[in-house]
Structure 1
Amino acid sequence: MSAACIFCKIVKGDIPSFKLFESDKVLAFLDINPLSKGHALVIPKFHGEKLTDIPDDSLAEILPVVKKLVKATGAENYNVLQNNGRIAHQEVDHVHFHMIPKPNSEEGMGISWPQQKTDMDGLKALLADIKSKM
């Protein structure tokens, strides 16, 4: 836990939240600045700024809880978003996953997808490099 972290304060109960789910390792609550009705956050209780800072066992329930939220909200179209670092749009320095219903083209998350041209030899080299480090 981090004393200055808003999400750690929510986990401790120092700041109220609209809790949707809680277990020993995970907390889910409604986003207070939603992009659409049902926009929720799912967080590990373990404090870590980026995904790589969180132990695997603290991540095991995250996607199953997101699935439960999708079913409970009835969202047919939705985004699951998890940002790491400021230029990747992370605002709170505690890992969190957004479940954002997309009921229509105006509400929910908007995305741009700046695809790049691929050089197949470069892609093969990249594949070998990444696989060698896993």
Structure 2
Amino acid sequence: MSDDPFCRIIAGERPAFVVHEDDLTVSFLDGRPVFKGHVLVVPRAHVETLSDLTEVGPFFERVQEMARAVEAGLEAGGTFVALNNRVSQSVPHLHVHVVPRNPMDGLRGFFWPRTRYASDEEARSYAATIAGALSGGAT
């Protein structure tokens, strides 16, 4: 889908701060993160919802690896992992949010305040830190 921003990121037609990519997924920083280090994990194949995804197990293994990397790389207390199906899905391409969390970080319920990176350099630094925490450090 040429107008799908995630398909355009996957194709290299739209810039993103990529944390990791492989044959099944591409993971990149959310442009409007809840907290800095907020990563989106998307399948390379264009699917809109979880029901459309054929490789559920391998996809969620990548999500699990990213959650570990976000926690380890950012020294976060944990992660918030979320997925919207159609309702509240800002881009009609399946994506899982992996958000770093810490006690008393201010996030309550499903209110998702958004922030911005101060610069491209700051975003690149977060992406590199998380990528370095992945098994083998591969990006």
Task: Report the TM-score, using the length of structure 1 for normalisation.
Answer: 0.71
Which residue is equivalent to 1:76?
77
Amino acid at match of 2:86: G
Which residue is equivalent to 2:130?
none
Which residue is equivalent to 1:116?
none
Q: Which residues in structure 2 correspond to 1:55-66 (within 5 Å)?
A: 55-56=54-55, 59=59, 60-66=61-67
Which residue is equivalent to 1:67?
68
1:80 to 1:62, Cα distance in 2 relative to 1, 3 A: same
Please report the RMSD computed on the Cα atoms of aligned residues, expressed in angstroms. Answer: 1.9
Distance 2:71 2:42 in 1: 16
Q: Shift in Å at residue 110 of structure 1?
A: 2.8
Q: Which residues in structure 2 correspond to 1:1-134 (within 5 Å)?
A: 2-56=1-55, 59=59, 60-86=61-87, 89-107=88-106, 109-111=107-109
Q: How many residues end up aligned between the 2 structures?
A: 108
Q: Shift in Å at residue 45 of structure 1?
A: 0.7
What are the ranges of 5 or more consecutive residues in structure 1 without an aligned counterpart? 113-134
Distance 2:24 2:102 in 1: 30
Give % identity. Answer: 30
List per-residue Cα deviations over 1:74-109 (Å, max 9, x = no partner). Answer: 2113200111012xx2111101111111235454x4
Q: Is the 8 A contact 1:47 1:54 kept in 2?
A: no
What are the ranges of 5 or more consecutive residues in structure 2 without an aligned counterpart? 111-139
Q: Is the 8 A contact 1:26 1:62 kept in 2?
A: no
Amino acid at match of 2:76: A
Structure having the higher Rg: 1
Runs (4+) of structure 1 moved beyond 6 Å?
A: none
User: RCO (CA 8 Å, sep 6+): is it higher in 1 or 2?
Assistant: 2
Distance 1:102 1:68 in 2: 13
